Amino acid sequence: MRVVVGGGTGFVGTALTQLLRSRGHEVTHVSRRAGKDRISWEQLSQSGLPQCDAVVNLAGENVLNPFRRWGDAFCREIIRSRVETTKTLAKAIADAEQPPHAWVVVTGVGYYRPSPTAEYTEDSPGGDFDFFSRLVSSWEAAALIPGSPTRGVVVRSGVVLGQGGGAISQMIWPFRLGLGGPVGSGLQPFPWIHIRDLAGIVCHALETEGLRGVFNGVSPSSPATSNGTFARELAAALGRPALLPMPAWAVRAIFGAERAVMLLEGQKVVPKHTLESGYSFIFPDLPEALKDIVS
Ligand code: NDP
C-alpha of residue 241 to centroid of ligand 1, in Å:
32
Q: 243: which residues sit within 8 A by CB, 6+ positions away?
A: 178, 181
Site to probe by mutation for ligand 1, drawn from 28, 31, 62, 155 as the one with most ligand atoms within 8 Å of Cβ, is 62
- In which band, very low, low, confident or very high, does the pLDDT at 240 lie, cut at 50, 70 and 90? very high
CB burial string 247-281: b at 16+ within 10 A, e below: eeeebbeebbeebbbbbbbbbbbbbbbbeebebeb
- In which band, very low, low, confident or very high, does the pLDDT at 185 lie, cut at 50, 70 and 90? very high
* Each residue's pLDDT tens digit, 244-254: 998 999 889 88
Distance CA(192)–CA(216), nearest Å, equals 11
Model confidence at 42: pLDDT above 90: yes
Model confidence at 170: pLDDT above 90: no
What pLDDT, on the 0 to 100 scale, is given for residue 273? 98
Percent of the chain scoring above 70 in pLDDT: 100
Q: 41: which residues sit within 8 A by CB, 6+ positions away?
A: 6, 30, 31, 32, 85, 88
Whether residue 271 contacts residue 217, with contact meaning beta carbons closer than 8 Å, is answered with yes
Pocket of ligand 1 (CB under 6 A): 7, 9-13, 31-32, 58-62, 77, 81-82, 85, 106, 108, 157, 159-160, 166-167
Which CATH number goes with the domain that contains 25?
3.40.50.720
Model confidence at 295: pLDDT above 90: no
What pLDDT, on the 0 to 100 scale, is given for residue 228? 96
- In which band, very low, low, confident or very high, does the pLDDT at 242 lie, cut at 50, 70 and 90? confident
Percent of the chain scoring above 90 in pLDDT: 87
What pLDDT, on the 0 to 100 scale, is given for residue 231? 95
What pLDDT, on the 0 to 100 scale, is given for residue 64? 86
Whether residue 4 contacts residue 28, with contact meaning beta carbons closer than 8 Å, is answered with yes
Question: What's the chain's average pLDDT?
Answer: 96
Closest CA to 293 of 220, 195, 223: 195
Strand pairing of 159-161 and 102-108? unpaired
Atom number, ligand 1, closest to the C-alpha of residue 32: 48
What pLDDT, on the 0 to 100 scale, is given for residue 73? 95
Site to probe by mutation for ligand 1, drawn from 89, 106, 201 as the one with most ligand atoms within 8 Å of Cβ, is 106
Atom number, ligand 1, closest to the C-alpha of residue 41: 48
Model confidence at 85: pLDDT above 90: yes
Model confidence at 122: pLDDT above 90: yes
ipTM of the prediction: 0.99
C-alpha of residue 164 to centroid of ligand 1, in Å:
14
What pLDDT, on the 0 to 100 scale, is given for residue 203? 98
Number of domains in the chain: 1
C-alpha of residue 58 to centroid of ligand 1, in Å:
6
C-alpha of residue 8 to centroid of ligand 1, in Å:
8
Please give the average per-residue pLDDT across 207-227, as a whole number.
Answer: 98
Model confidence at 219: pLDDT above 90: yes
Please give the average per-residue pLDDT across 141-159, as a whole number.
Answer: 98
For atom 39 of ligand 1, the residue with the nearest CA is 160
- In which band, very low, low, confident or very high, does the pLDDT at 105 lie, cut at 50, 70 and 90? very high
Helix (H, G, I), strand (E, B) or coil at 11: helix
C-alpha of residue 13 to centroid of ligand 1, in Å:
8
Cα torsion angle, 134, 62, 176, 258, sign: negative
Model confidence at 51: pLDDT above 90: yes
- In which band, very low, low, confident or very high, does the pLDDT at 255 lie, cut at 50, 70 and 90? confident
Which ranges of 96-226 would DSSP assign to H, the alpha helix? 131-143, 166-176, 195-207
The domain containing residue 187 runs over which residues?
2-294
Distance CA(10)–CA(175), nearest Å, equals 24
